[in-house]
Structure formats: C-alpha cells, structure tokens
Amino acid sequence: MTDPYIDPDDYSDISENEVSATQLLEVPLSLCGERLDAALAKLLPDYSRSRLTQWVKDGLVKVDGQVVAPKTKMLGGEKLEVTLQLTNEEMAFQPEPMDLPIVFEDDHILVINKPAGLVVHPASGNWSGTLLNGLLHHCPSLANVPRAGIVHRLDKDTSGLMVVAKTVPAQTELVRQMQARTVKRVYRAIADGVVPFDGTIEGH
C-alpha cells in the first residue's frame, strides 16, 4: 500500500510531454509602456516570466498577428495570441461533475469517503475522471490551492476516508501534522484465503 502522504516529488510518473492550447488576450491600457514579457507575466500569472519569455522567443506569442521580441513595448489595446505549451498534468486540472461521497465539510476542510476504483490524482493513463477533477467541480476555489487541496492519497483500489484542504493555510497545517505524524491513520485489510500465521503487521 502506498504511503498516503504526498511528497513534493511524488509525481515522477507524470508525463512531461507538452500539448498546445491557444489563449486570446487584449493588453489593457493600464499596461501601456510595459515590455511584452512583463505584460504577459501580469496577464498570465500562473506561468513564470522565464517560461513566458521563452514562448515569445519561440514564436508562440503573436502581437496583432505578428511575432515580436520579448522587449517590445506595449501601448495598450494590442491583441495577443498565446500558444500555451502545457504539460499533460496542467491540462488535466479541469473540473468534472462527479458524485463525491462527502462525509464532512466546513470552510476549511472536507472529508471524502473515497471508493475503491477511483484514482486520486491525474497521471499517465488517468488524465481525467479522478478525485481531483471532481473536487474542482464541487469547489471551484480549490483551483487556487496546490493539488486542489489534496494532502494525502489512497491507491486506486483502496477505499477509505481522505481529508482535503479547502484553503492554503489549512493545507499547510495538515501537511505539517502528517509530517509530524500527529495524525493517526488506521488501515483494514481483508485476506482472501488462509493466512498461515497469527500476528500483527505494522508499517508506516
């Protein structure tokens, strides 16, 4: 059984192949005098400035239909066509209607009784239909919380209660508690067949 605590590097199985999506923007007059790369950083805050600058250099950003340099000054009113180069993971973070078995919810957390067969987080082979997709539909504000508030996970075929943070402070505190192991997790397994010994299985 997978340790349910999500380590920051626990997604090495996620494909980094990129897919494209086009976004149309208009430069507001308030950004008059700004460089293109600086204006993009304010219009698309979800992406780093270095990443946006590279897209401009790669010809993936057009200003009024033309490819220009990152340092090009904006006057305001320009039409931008940005070809976003997104990873499969980024594309997978989309809300999907789902009947979530919620057993508790308040302003800070919610508790899900995850059924067996439900994948928790998008990954290779499961880019949709995951718990994360259902959470984003149930609570759109989770788009502003890393990993949609998920702080621990269960394997696809494992059922059980999962705590989800609805705010960044709540997520930070839950992760702290899990790292400190002040949260107790109890697992129950069913053996199919005859277990040839008596005893207790203990693990972390």
Q: Which residues are catalytic?
A: 155
Which among 116, 123, 14, 34 is positioned nearest to 78, based on CA atoms? 34
Q: How far apart are CA 120 and CA 155, in angstroms?
A: 8
Nearest C-alpha neighbor of 8 from the set 200, 124, 150: 150
Three state DSSP letters for the chain: CCCCECCCCCCCCCCCCEEEEEEEEECCHHHCCCEHHHHHHHHCCCCCHHHHHHHHHCCCEEECCEECCCCCECCCCCEEEEEEEEEHHHHHCCCCCCCCCEEEECCCEEEEEECCCCCCCCECCECCCCHHHHHHHHCHHHHHCHHHHECECCCCCCCEEEEEECCHHHHHHHHHHHHCCCCCCCCCCCCCCCCCCCCCCCCC
